[in-house]
Amino acid sequence: MATRYRFGDNEIPHFVTFAVINWIDVFSREDYRVIVTDSLKYCIQEKGLNLHAWVIMTNHIHLVISCKDGFKQADVLRDLKKFTAKTIIKTIEENSKESRKDWLIWMFKRAGAKNTNNKIYQFWQQDNHPIELTTLQMMEQKINYIHENPVRAGIVNEPQHYKYSSAFDYFEDETGLLAIQRIW
């Protein structure tokens, strides 16, 4: 699917958003959030990802990322989405405690059947909506937007109290769940 949004310079931070198909609240479960954080850790260590800010909401993820020289943001994000999709679907299928298992698998199969890019399932929506952040003002706006997401959703009262976000790193000046490269 062609989109007007494309990754620019790989060393310049980009704001990216990607969502579960039909905005399904998959990340209301801890197990699935851990799959994403572990995958981000791997991409940081092995795939040249520079993570500047992040948040995992119940049905979507926001990141501010760049890449080390020799790596491409589009490739890292593609691999991250592919791996997390397969792993989360497998985990759902094997999770005897997942009360929504049949419905979730049915939704992912239904979406996969509608998209010729898939073999069986589709977990993530197709687009990443990358926006190149060329000024400090743009970076501050997007990072603040990311950190305020759980507050706007009514999950927490203060951004730094949300576990699955880089707000702790920025507000408390300490290391949170993932190693980030702070913008300021």
Within-domain flag for 107: yes
Look at residue 127 in the predicted model and tell me its pLDDT: 84
Within-domain flag for 177: no
Distance CA 59, CA 164 (A): 13
The closest alpha carbon to 145, from 172, 129, 165, belongs to 165
Whether the Cβ atoms of residue 43 and residue 79 lie closer than 8 Å to each other: yes
The CATH number covering residue 18 comes to: 3.30.70.1290
Within-domain flag for 105: yes
Within-domain flag for 37: yes
Within-domain flag for 176: no
Q: For residue 149, what are its two tokens?
A: 């997401």
Within-domain flag for 156: no
| Structural domains in the chain (count) | 1
Look at residue 56 in the predicted model and tell me its pLDDT: 98
Q: Are strands 49-56 and 14-19 parallel, antiparallel or unpaired?
A: unpaired
Look at residue 4 in the predicted model and tell me its pLDDT: 56
Look at residue 3 in the predicted model and tell me its pLDDT: 47
Within-domain flag for 20: yes
User: 83: domain range?
Assistant: 14-135
Mean pLDDT by 10 residues, the chain (184 residues): 64 94 97 98 97 98 96 95 97 96 97 87 91 95 98 97 96 91 88
Within-domain flag for 50: yes
Whether the Cβ atoms of residue 48 and residue 70 lie closer than 8 Å to each other: yes
Look at residue 154 in the predicted model and tell me its pLDDT: 97
